[in-house]
């Protein structure tokens, strides 16, 4: 972690300078990844290569910079929570969605049950497992998995996204904590769908195989107020994007969201598969680095995004 209030004097209109900054961000990511550890609580994720690292940037102006492992597929994991929330806002609306899940950072680990049992019947936000499972319980009443998959493909501008059966089976077999969450929600009478169907769709969405480029595209669409910059098609109402990006900023990086918000300052969402999507003012960024820190965030991804944010002045409060 480093921080300085000095504004670097860099000519960002110079293409070579932009490329140099991304090269440095990549090098920082590779270096940082050496001190991380791949997730192993889902057995299939333990097979990832901790040395993999890639970064992809896509700007509204149409520029793409991609370095390292940006085409290698990995499971989207918690980044699917962004897509599920977008679908819920689109198909059920703001009022209905947030009648069943709150908008508050929890400050707890992503899979915690603590506050759900002791503080509030409703999950704190859609970016933690309890909240995402609750959102999924609503979605099971209006969308099939295939429809959600199509929505994910459109949001990531990537027709190549597919269900990773190995990860899905691995999660289904070992996801007892998520099973506990869904039944706790049911026991409180707040769950909106059938528990096993809800869990199944939740696991499937976590098991979609994406790459760093699809995440950069997702970031770009969020940056572009929900509009596909190539086709001009609006995927959801621009107002919903504000809600999604706000929740990514406050809750998207697990119980590291506060520190990340200060040091990087870009609405982002991470997943334990090693991906991070970031939606800055003029660009989407996708990083892939399966070596994680203790909070479950990609350690290389955070290092790269810190560098990028500082040198390209991407902090939204700069
Ligand atoms: N499928 C994972 C779980 O529910 C997602 C966790 C994550 O990426 O934060 O445990």
Ligand 1 within 6 A of CB of 178: yes
Overall fold of domain 78-206: Beta-lactamase (3.40.710)
Question: How far does the centroid of ligand 1 lie from the alpha carbon of residue 118, in Å?
Answer: 22
Q: Are strands 283-288 and 208-210 parallel, antiparallel or unpaired?
A: unpaired
pLDDT of residue 3: 63
pLDDT of residue 260: 97
As annotated, the active-site residues are 78, 81, 202, 254, 272
Overall fold of domain 15-76+210-312: Beta-lactamase (3.40.710)
pLDDT of residue 313: 94
Ligand 1 within 6 A of CB of 84: no
Pocket probe for ligand 1: among 38, 44, 77, 177, the residue whose CB has the most ligand atoms within 8 Å is: 77
pLDDT of residue 8: 79
pLDDT beyond 80 at 1? no
pLDDT of residue 83: 98
Ligand 1 within 6 A of CB of 271: yes
Name the residue with the closest Cα to ligand 1, atom 10: 111
Q: For 17-67, how does the pLDDT look when each residue is reduced to its tens digit (9 = 90+)?
A: 999 999 999 999 999 999 999 999 999 999 999 999 999 999 999 999 999
Ligand 1 within 6 A of CB of 270: no
Instruction: Pick the closest to residue 309 from 251, 246, 266 (CA basis).
Output: 266
pLDDT of residue 114: 80
Question: How far does the centroid of ligand 1 lie from the alpha carbon of residue 155, in Å?
Answer: 20
Ligand 1 within 6 A of CB of 155: no
Name the residue with the closest Cα to ligand 1, atom 2: 77
Question: How far does the centroid of ligand 1 lie from the alpha carbon of residue 175, in Å?
Answer: 9
Atom of ligand 1 nearest to the CA of 129: 4
Mean pLDDT of 254-260: 96
Pinpoint the residues of the chain covered by CATH 3.40.710.10: 15-76+210-312, 78-206
Question: How far does the centroid of ligand 1 lie from the alpha carbon of residue 63, in Å?
Answer: 32
């Amino acid at each position: 972690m480093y921080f300085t209030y000095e504004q670097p004097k860099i000519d960002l209109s110079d293409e070579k300078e932009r490329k140099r900054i991304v090269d440095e961000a990549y090098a920082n990511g590779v270096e940082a990844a050496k001190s991380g550890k791949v997730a192993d609580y889902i057995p299939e994720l333990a097979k990832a290569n901790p040395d993999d690292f890639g970064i992809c940037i896509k700007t509204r102006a149409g520029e793409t910079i991609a370095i390292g492992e940006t085409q290698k597929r990995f499971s989207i994991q918690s980044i699917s929570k962004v897509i599920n929330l977008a679908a819920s806002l689109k198909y059920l609306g703001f009022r209905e969605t947030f009648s069943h899940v709150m908008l508050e950072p929890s400050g707890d680990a992503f899979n915690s049950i603590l506050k759900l049992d002791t503080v509030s019947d409703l999950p704190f936000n859609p970016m933690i497992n309890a909240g995402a499972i609750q959102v999924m319980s609503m979605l099971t009443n209006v969308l099939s998995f295939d429809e959600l998959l199509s929505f994910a493909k459109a949001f990531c501008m990537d027709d190549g996204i597919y269900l990773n059966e190995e990860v899905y089976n691995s999660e289904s077999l070992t996801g007892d904590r998520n099973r506990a969450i869904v039944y706790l929600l049911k026991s409180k009478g707040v769950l909106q769908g059938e528990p096993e169907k809800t869990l199944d769709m939740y696991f499937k969405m976590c098991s979609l195989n994406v790459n760093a480029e699809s995440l950069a595209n997702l970031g770009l669409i969020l940056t572009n107020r929900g509009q596909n910059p190539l086709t001009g098609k609006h995927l959801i109402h621009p107002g919903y994007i504000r809600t999604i990006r706000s929740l990514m900023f406050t809750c998207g990086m697990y119980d590291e969201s506060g520190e990340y918000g200060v040091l990087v300052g870009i609405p982002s969402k991470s997943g334990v598969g090693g991906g991070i999507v970031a939606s800055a003012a003029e660009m989407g960024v996708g990083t892939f680095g399966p070596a994680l820190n203790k909070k479950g965030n990609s350690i290389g991804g955070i290092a790269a995004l810190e560098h990028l944010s500082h040198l390209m002045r991407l902090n939204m409060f700069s």
